[in-house]
Structure formats: C-alpha cells, structure tokens
Amino acid sequence: MKTATNKKNFTLIEMVVAMAVMLMVAMIIGSAGKIFYDGYNRAVRATGRLREYMAIDRIWDGAVRNAVPFKWVDSEGVSRFVFAGEQDTVMFTALRRADDQTPGALIFIRLRLEEDELVAYYSYYPRPPWDEEYDEDPQYFTREVIAANIASVAFQYAEESESEEAEIEWFDVWDEDEHAAIPLAIRMTVEWKDGRREHWLRRTAGTSLHSSFGYRLPPENSTANTGN
C-alpha cells in the first residue's frame, strides 16, 4: 500500500512575487542605509564646522577682545606699539586670563593665513612685528591651527572717522604713523573653500569711540613714535 504525500512545487508566478518582495526589502534597507550614511556625514561636517567656529570665537572673545596698546622699544630706541595690521595678517598684544598659571600678564598673538589654514601663534615674550627673527625661531612661540580648508582671510581695522557722515572708518591696513593707538575694533572675514563666508567683530580692550585706556589723541599729537 502506497502512502500519499503532499508535494507542492513553487510556480513561476510565486517565484517572481517572492523575488519582487525581496528586491523591495533590499531597496528599503539600501535607502535606509543611504539616509543614515548621509545623515552621519552631515553630522560630521556640522560638528567640524562647529569646532572651527568655536575655536575662532575663543580667539576673538579671549584675545582680540582683550587687545591692549602695549609698547616696546625698537632697535633705534623708539617706543612703538606691538601691533601690526595687514589685510591677511594681524599681530597684537592681549591681556591674559587671571587663572592662567604661566608667568606674565600679557600674551603676544599673531593670526594669519598659511596656505589653506588659519594659524595662530602665541608667545609669552614680546614679539615686536618689526623683528622677523621671532618668526623663524620656535622657542618664541606656540603654533595652533584654528581652521582648515580656508580660501581667504581678510582683516579690517576700525578708527574714529574724520567724516561727518560716519563715526567709524574701516582700514584694510593699519599704519601706525597715522593713528594714535591700536584700532578701536578688529573685524575678520573668513571664506572657506566650500563657499561658506563668516564674519567676526570685536572691540579691543578699554576702547571707546574717543578713547583708549583714557586717551585717544589725533595722529599729529600722538606720542606713539616719539619714545615718550
């Protein structure tokens, strides 16, 4: 006596439907993976940008905001401000934080664009901009990369305007012979290679429109270059 067995084979239509379902599941998984991957990359880029913005903010809030008109005697015995303002470079003296454990009350900082990086140089010793040997000897400074993939950096410097139409005038280059002190404020524009463009603006320490640590004389009455 033979025992009957139930044997069922897949039809062609059933196989096509099964393959279609599997393909749809694979597409859903692939789409979800791509969405996750794209979101992760966006998060990484946003985090990197935030870190760069925070690093720049730290410099401008902690240093530029505390920039002071500090003088140093040059090789000819002339007392000059330790400040240099160019279009793509700025060098200034800033007050240090009270909780800083290293000796001294001042820090000397230079910001500039090097290739595609915004770089900061820090020194606890006077680094007069007219003495180029400080740029070549690493014992005088600490180097820090603030931001990368930079297309351009532009600094501008504020001074009391002689025009009646505006109270503030902006200069691309700060000529010490034409001013009585350091700028009232410094503005930096950074443009990244990906097209981003941001601005930072801070007033220097102890300055107002008509004074800087209690004085702001016209250039012709300034003692900045007299040695006094």
Structure-model confidence comparison of residues 129 and 87, the more confident one: 87
Asked if the model's pLDDT at residue 174 lies above 90, the reply is: yes
Cα-Cα-Cα-Cα dihedral sign, residues 172, 85, 54, 35? positive
**pLDDT above 90 as % of the chain:** 32
78-82, 117-121, 176-180: which is most confident: 117-121
- How far apart CA 65 and CA 21 sit, in angstroms, is 63
| 80: confidence class by pLDDT, cuts 50, 70, 90 | confident
Mean pLDDT of 181-193: 93
Name 192's Cβ contacts closer than 8 Å, sequence gap at least 6.
147, 149, 150, 151
14-23, 66-75, 209-218: which is most confident: 66-75
User: Taking a C-beta distance cutoff of 8 angstroms, is the pair 104, 124 a contact?
Assistant: yes
Model confidence, pTM: 0.73
| Residue indicated by tokens 């290293």 | 102
- How far apart CA 92 and CA 59 sit, in angstroms, is 12
- How far apart CA 161 and CA 52 sit, in angstroms, is 33
- How far apart CA 109 and CA 122 sit, in angstroms, is 5
Asked if the model's pLDDT at residue 211 lies above 70, the reply is: no
DSSP H helical segments within 63-185, as ranges? none
- In the prediction, which pLDDT does 176 show? 85
Lowest pLDDT segment from 12-21, 86-95, 140-149, 171-180: 12-21
- In the prediction, which pLDDT does 40 show? 63
Asked if the model's pLDDT at residue 58 lies above 70, the reply is: yes
Average pLDDT, the chain: 80
Asked if the model's pLDDT at residue 222 lies above 80, the reply is: no
Asked if the model's pLDDT at residue 205 lies above 70, the reply is: yes
Reduced to 3 states, what is the DSSP secondary structure of residue 143?
Answer: strand
Q: Model confidence over 109-168: pLDDT tens digits?
A: 999 999 999 999 998 888 788 876 655 566 678 889 999 999 999 999 998 887 777 788
Taking phi over 0 as left and psi of -120 to 50 as alpha, with beta for the rest, 195 belongs to left
